[in-house]
Amino acid sequence: MYSKRLKLVRKESNSLTQHQLSELLEIPLHKIKSIESDKTKISIEIALKIEEKLNFSFKWILTGVGEKFISKVDPESSIIKDNNLNLKKVIVEHQDVIKKFKDSKKAKEFNEFLIEIEDGDPEGYEGLYKEAKTISKTINRLKEKDSIKKKQQTSFTKRQVNGD
């Protein structure tokens, strides 16, 4: 569980208190307490901060799997480190996008569906992407037109009320 791993992180980091850890990671104390009482999961952002500041593995913090500490990378294999950082950035960005959906379960299912299409039919995936982009542009144009129409109606109503 997240609570056990976070407590272990604190213990193995010079027995940091919850308060000290929250200051080090620049996150509110209540988040640390919430994670350690199993009320909240550790977010990807917090796991990345722990890895960056305390050298615990991002993967281990989130899953409990793999090496507990990140290995030191020699300069010749810094490409691996760069790739891992890029992957972590993508994961964080993707998590932020999923959070924007009203129904995260449907968003996850839709993304899995897109992955299946991309793997099985790359051309179909490109076509679907172009169609989705067109639909999005159309929806935005309709929203703009609706907004302009509402402004005009509001303006007209105000003129009628004011007797202009």
Amino acid at the residue 107: A
Stretch 21-36: mean pLDDT: 94
Q: What is the mean pLDDT of the chain?
A: 79
Q: How confident is the model at residue 64 (pLDDT cuts 50, 70, 90)?
A: confident
Token pair for residue 55? 């050298």
DSSP 97-151: HHHHSS-HHHHHHHHHHHHHHHHH-HHHHHHHHHHHHHHHHHHHHHHHHHHHHHH
What's the whole-model pTM score? Answer: 0.47
Do 36 and 7 touch, CB atoms closer than 8 A?
Answer: yes
- For each of the domains in the chain, give its residue range(s) and CATH number, in order of start: 2-70 (1.10.260.40)
Q: Which helix (H) or strand (E) holds 78?
A: helix 78-100
β-strand partners of 56: 69
pLDDT for res 36: 94
Q: What is the pLDDT of residues 90-118, one digit of tens each?
A: 566 666 666 677 787 787 777 777 777 77
